[in-house]
Amino acid sequence: MPSNPFASIAKRITGQRRASPDAVALEDHVARERLSEKLGYLSAMKIFQDLSREELMAIERATTMITCPAGRVFYIPGETGEVLFLLKRGRVQIYCLSPDGRKLTVKILEPMTFFGEMAILGQGMYDTFAEAMDECLICVMSRQDVIRLLLSKPPVAARICEELARRVMETEQRLEELAFKGVDSRLASLLIRLAGDEDELVGYSHQELAELLGVYRETVTLALGRFKAQGLIEIGRKRIVLLNRAALAAIAESS
């Protein structure tokens, strides 16, 4: 299996011939704006909290920032992991495919997190798919630079370990729900988890919710209809309002 094509991005060096003083000034201005934007994103990431500007600058120099359209596949199972992805904007779906082609979503990643770390830090090859759900702004960092960063900055390594531990706990919870709970219970739990501290869930289609639960879209649509009939939620286009969070929590706790 060939290496991931994103590996070449981390090593790419581009250069343009400067035509005039005005072009130089414009290029310098754009470069400063780009640098400021990139540093802002890096400093906002939890794993880079408390790093100095000089340390952030070193990370900035080791990363390449690119924009990817919705539907872009970052990696597939069996590819060699050569870069770490830092998600700045947009959402990324991590998923597996069943033998019959059905998609099971492992996780949907929101901005200011990372992915692709297991192939970098452990197994060497990816075992899932990663696909952009929206237009995404990402930074990529080579394996060598990631290892160098972790060895030189123990707090960053510790925060990555904390995030990985949290993801393992979430996976264990989902496996427990899959084994012992029905669709309504699992869906109620999912709605509460995705909404977080808010009273509404925005940006998820019935199909995407179904893929997170490992069921068919029709099953989710029927379950949402039952919740709506009970006055627990309101449903709009890619928008679900939680009207009775306590009742949903009770359903989530049931078997």
What pLDDT was estimated at residue 225? 97
What pLDDT was estimated at residue 173? 86
End-to-end CA distance of the chain: 43
Q: Could you tell me the domains of the chain?
A: 7-174 (2.60.120.10), 181-253 (1.10.10.10)
What pLDDT was estimated at residue 17? 45
Identity of residue 37: E
Q: Cβ(128)–Cβ(94) under 8 Å?
A: yes
- What is the chain's pLDDT, residue by residue, as a tens digit (255 residues)? 545 556 555 444 334 445 555 554 445 544 566 677 888 888 899 999 888 989 999 999 999 999 999 999 999 999 988 899 999 999 999 999 988 888 889 999 999 999 998 877 766 788 899 999 999 999 999 988 999 999 999 999 999 999 989 988 988 888 888 889 999 999 999 999 999 999 999 999 999 999 999 899 999 999 999 999 999 999 998 999 999 999 999 999 987
